[in-house]
Amino acid sequence: KAGVTQTPRYLIKTRGQQVTLSCSPISGHRSVSWYQQTPGQGLQFLFEYFSETQRNKGNFPGRFSGRQFSNSRSEMNVSTLELGDSALYLCASSYRQAETQYFGPGTRLLVL
Amino acid sequence: AQSVSQHNHHVILSEAASLELGCNYSYGGTVNLFWYVQYPGQHLQLLLKYFSGDPLVKGIKGFEAEFIKSKFSFNLRKPSVQWSDTAEYFCAVTGNNAGNMLTFGGGTRLMVKP
């Protein structure tokens, strides 16, 4: 079974731009969560989607948003990029909520 | 609010040495506990998990962890490390009412010298 895939793997943007990242969960998984990983703050939860509905949201500004499609694929969007948004963005999927999450390779975003 | 504390940020061991990485969490309800590992250049992989039952759980590659509820701890152990265990290890917790919101510890970088 294929794992979680994320596209693109690397991205360079400039301040003020917006970016959309994509995540395809493991086949059959309906829950998708997003995390931000930085050297300073570590791994932080962004949001979780299950059956196209946002179920939980972390402590991030409204510039960070996401959605989930009927095939469980998910996208996250960051508008008005700031330098501090440079990070590795990880997507994780699970069959249901409160089950083991499996992580993708991440999208490394660099904001210049 | 949930929080997870990993006491050791960097650990250096020689091959065949025993390993114990500490993890303490703060949460008021029932928890699910995880250890993930991130090898250099690779993505996060699940080592082991505890949901309920036997508090001593065994994972992949000879790792095990013990859930001690009274101490709010979930320490990771391995009797004899190998050079290939060099990686960053993350303890994580989610509450039963928190959906899939994982709270991670700060991570422990393990270097195993051959």
pLDDT tens-place string over residues B11-41: 999 999 999 999 999 987 888 999 999 999 8
Q: Which residues of B39-50 are buried (b: 16+ CB within 10 A; e: fewer)?
A: eeeebbbbbbbb
pLDDT tens-place string over residues A35-65: 999 999 999 999 999 999 999 999 999 999 9
CB B105 within 8 A of CB B55: no
Taking the C-alpha atoms of A60, A65, A67 and A73 in order, what is their torsion angle to the nearest 10 degrees? -80
pLDDT at A77: 98
Please give the Cα distance from A36 to A73 (Å, whole number): 18
pLDDT at B22: 96
pLDDT tens-place string over residues A4-34: 999 999 999 999 999 999 999 999 999 999 9
Structure tokens given for B106: 């700060």
CB B12 within 8 A of CB B31: no
pLDDT tens-place string over residues A92-111: 999 987 788 999 999 999 99
Residue A43's closest CA among B49, B12, B36? B36
Task: Give the distance from residue A22's alpha carbon to the nearest chain B alpha carbon, in angstroms.
Answer: 16
Task: Give the distance from residue A14's alpha carbon to the nearest chain B alpha carbon, in angstroms.
Answer: 25
E strands present in A1-112: 5-7, 10-13, 19-24, 31-38, 42-50, 53-57, 64-68, 74-78, 87-94, 102-103, 107-111
Contact list, A42 vs chain B (CB under 8 Å): 104-107
CB A104 within 8 A of CB A5: yes
Residue B44 and residue A90: Cβ atoms within 8 Å? yes
Task: Give the distance from residue A9's alpha carbon to the nearest chain B alpha carbon, in angstroms.
Answer: 12
Residue B48's closest CA among B31, B69, B64? B64
Structure tokens given for A39: 């050297």
Residue B100 and residue A97: Cβ atoms within 8 Å? yes
According to DSSP, residue A25 is labeled P
pLDDT at B28: 77
| Residues of chain B below pLDDT 70 | 96
pLDDT at B99: 75
Q: Which of A45, A48, A97 sits opposite B103 (nearest CB)?
A: A45
